[in-house]
A and B are shown apart, each in its own frame.
Chain A
Amino acid sequence: MSEPLLDVRGLTTSFETGQGKLTAVDDISFSIGEGEVFGVVGESGSGKSVTALSVMRLLDDAGTVEADEIRFNGTDLLSLSEREMRNVRGGEISMIFQDPMTSLNPVMTIGEQIAEVVRHHGDVGERTGFWSEMRRKYVTGTSKESRSWQRAVELLETVGIPEPEKRATEFPHQLSGGMRQRVVIAQALAGDPSLIIADEPTTALDVSIEAQILNEILELSDEFGISVLLITHDLGVVRETCDRVAVMYASEFMETGHVDDIFEDPHHPYTEGLLASIPRIDDDREWLSVIEGTVPDLIDKPAGCPFRDRCDYAFELCDRPLVEYEIEGSALETHTVRCHRENEHVEVDDSGHIDAVPEEAVAALERRIEAESPGDAGGSVTSTTDVNARADGGRPTSPATGSENGGDQDEY
């Protein structure tokens, strides 16, 4: 695995609002390898969905997407024309949205909703021009003999829908929530993509269905060698499913690394707080721990760590711009944290607090900020390209994660 499938560098998405500029995604970088499941976890409003929509270039005119690059399979998505981008959407990268109740078109049969993806991105030799599609929709209907329809029926069977021929002719309201999300998965697979972005795919579903749907996504992506960008607010889901994970807070990635590293050895106070707030079955705490305070306003966001007002360990460097620190000794994957407590010159005492900031720390930080300042992307690349390097000397991802996931899934 030389080149990652998706490589996002310095992605920043902002919206002009009446009150000022809202930064929904602030200078994030990540990469997803082939066959890898990458999780983005964070609370509501932290910018997870906007990240996904920015990569797909699906934000409307209100949003401005800037990035050093969004490289997918060697091409920079930001340099593509809208027409070329349409071939990527659904064909190379497909999406599974949160709410299957609303993400399927209520007046179209589920068969046609899948078949149109097949027609547009598959090699079935059916016309997809505007008038051909309009005639199919309003005059003739989709032929049950057409290859796209038959492929749609096959896909319904693949995602475990009983009586797929009959179901294909039905409308979304005739299906249960879990079934509909299976239809959405079939739709996402229809274009034979190499990456699926799943934006909170189980949030709107019953807990009992959640595990089934997650398994379905993971098994199928494993089977077809599809990478997954899984967006969720559920740490449990991340732990069960992801290879690597990024913790997102207030539009920034706070900590990125292998799932085991993040869960066993969290370095960012926010990650620690999140993990501490998960209830455990052997808990005898009377109250669950919470992270005090609220998410900062993202409009005209000040520089510095966005978490500092809620952080128990905040110290004087926290209002300086954040830089990425690599954690030494991680056995699995590069583990990076954006917290100045990791500065090599800062001494953290046993309780995690910091008494004094030596001058070397400030100087070192200033050099880093200087190196990363806009116009000179070199600094950030040096510290982040290693994300893909293997600290353990190249343990292959896919088979290992495959078996790991297999094991995890059995626990469901």
Chain B
Amino acid sequence: MLFVVTVVFFAVRAVPGDPARLMLGGDADPAALTALRQELGLNQPLYVQYFQWLRRLLTGNFGESIRTGEPVLGSLAQVAGPTISIAALGMVIALMIAVPTGILSSVKRYEIEDYVSTTIAFFGISMPAFWIGIVLILVIGVNVDSIPTFGYTPIDEGVSPWFRSIILPAFAVGFPYGGILMRMMRSSMLEVLNEDYMRTARAKGLSSNLVLFKHGLQNALIPVVTLAGIFLAVVLGGVVAVEIVFGIRGIGRLLIGSINRRDFPLIQGTVLIISFVFVLANIVVDLLYTMINPRIKYGGGE
């Protein structure tokens, strides 16, 4: 995390552009500029700024937005809802697509089902989330009245409107992720199908469905779960772009806006939170991993 903090801090400042000048306009009075820089603490040497920021971070203070003066955490909390909803539903959609089609195409290898599903997965991997979003708006959003193409309805205004407002962006985010996972599921299941224990299971007289789902599935999921955590970045990256397409005020929009305005504390805070979520998700994945793979046990044992 410290590494992330450091990289974000310096990368943000390496980008050309001066927040004070952006706020006051191109032909601002030099004295006013200096005064504003003084106020924002931008006139101090970089390392001083860095350590000040770090010290405040340790006490849980993410600072205030340069532009609005609001606390960074507060503005993040305001827009977190849509982002979390879209990302979560997107992952659910991805898994619901990836696991069954991955299994299907491994079982029907080199048959029509396999070609169809790998082709769809290939599209998913090749198309960026925001483009899928645009296509979805054009094809479904415009033709189906009950599904809005724009904006977000919070969940406390009803589950159904909430769900309808995020289904398209979630699909746009989930599809590329699902494509990646499906291909992993397929190759991992193909490997499992050749394992000796699958032959043993058939030699026990189990039906082919039982062999596949009782003996195969869990083994095939092990590598998929690992990579699902790593490729979570695809979802998070997708959400940022998709929010713009669907005009949803989420963390992604906030981030893009703050980068455009060189709102250093807000950029830093947002990136930090996103990377924190990423790390957290990977911890969850690791815990899940120990559940499905009995060969891995953390914390000793006998």
Contacts and interface: CB of A to CB of B under 8 A. Distances in A.
A87 B202 contact: no
Given A102-B195, A105-B197, A107-B219, A130 B209 contact: yes
Given A102-B195, A103-B197, A107-B293, A133 B210 contact: yes
B104 to A, nearest CB: 17
Interface string B209-232: 110011100110010000000000
Contacts, number: 81
A88 B295 CA distance: 33
B157 interface: no
Contacts of A103: 196-197, 199-200
A35 interface: no
A94 B203 contact: yes
A108 B201 CA distance: 12
Contact of B295 (A90, A171, A187): A171
- Chain B residues touching A, range: 20 to 34
Contacts of B203: 56, 58, 89-90, 94-95, 97
A97 B197 CA distance: 9
Given A105-B197, A106-B197, A171 B210 contact: no
A191 B215 contact: no
Interface string B187-204: 000000001110111111
| Interface residues of chain B: helix, strand, loop or mixed (majority) | helix
A182 to B, nearest CB: 15
A91 B214 contact: no
B214 A104 contact: no
B32 interface: no
A103 B202 CA distance: 11
Interface stretch (A23-31, A113-121, A280-288): A113-121
A63 B218 CA distance: 28
A133 B204 contact: no
B213 A134 contact: yes
Contacts of A95: 200, 203
Interface in A40-66: 56, 58
B217 to A, nearest CB: 9
Contact of A87 (B200, B205, B213, B294): B205
B197 A102 contact: yes
Contacts of B48: none
B181 to A, nearest CB: 19
Contact of A121 (B201, B205, B292, B294): B205
A137 interface: yes
Contacts of B295: 106, 171, 173
Contact of B200 (A88, A97, A134): A97
A374 to B, nearest CB: 31
Contacts of B218: 107, 137-138
Contacts of B209: 130
A201 to B, nearest CB: 13
A99 interface: yes
Nearest to B219: A107
A134 B214 contact: yes
Contacts of A58: 199, 202-203
B196 A97 contact: yes
Interface in A170-185: 171, 173, 184
Nearest to B293: A107
Contacts of B210: 130, 133
Contacts of A308: none
A116 B210 CA distance: 11
Contacts of A97: 196, 199-200, 203
A89 B196 contact: no
A209 to B, nearest CB: 19
Contacts of A116: 204, 206, 214
A171 to B, nearest CB: 5
B59 interface: no
Contacts of A120: 204-206
A137 B218 CA distance: 10
A117 B204 contact: yes
A150 B99 CA distance: 35
A89 B294 contact: no
A100 to B, nearest CB: 9
**Interface hub of B207, B219, B292 (most chain A Cβ within 10 A):** B207
B23 to A, nearest CB: 57
Nearest to A91: B205
B201 A107 contact: no
B101 to A, nearest CB: 19
Nearest to A93: B203
Nearest to A173: B295
Given A86-B207, A89-B204, A89-B205, A107 B294 contact: yes
Contacts of B222: 107
Contacts of B219: 105-107
B215 A108 contact: yes
Contacts of B204: 89-90, 94, 116-117, 120, 187, 191
B200 A105 contact: yes
Given A58-B202, A88-B205, A116-B204, A105 B294 contact: no
A144 B152 CA distance: 51
Nearest to B194: A60
Contacts of A105: 197, 200-201, 215, 219
Contact of A191 (B205, B213, B214): B205
A90 B202 CA distance: 9
Contacts of B206: 86, 90, 116, 120
Interface of B: 195-197, 199-207, 209-210, 213-215, 218-219, 222, 292-295
24 contacts: A58-B199, A58-B203, A86-B206, A89-B204, A97-B196, A99-B196, A102-B197, A103-B196, A103-B197, A103-B199, A105-B201, A106-B294, A107-B294, A108-B215, A116-B206, A117-B204, A120-B204, A120-B205, A120-B206, A130-B209, A130-B213, A137-B218, A171-B295, A191-B204
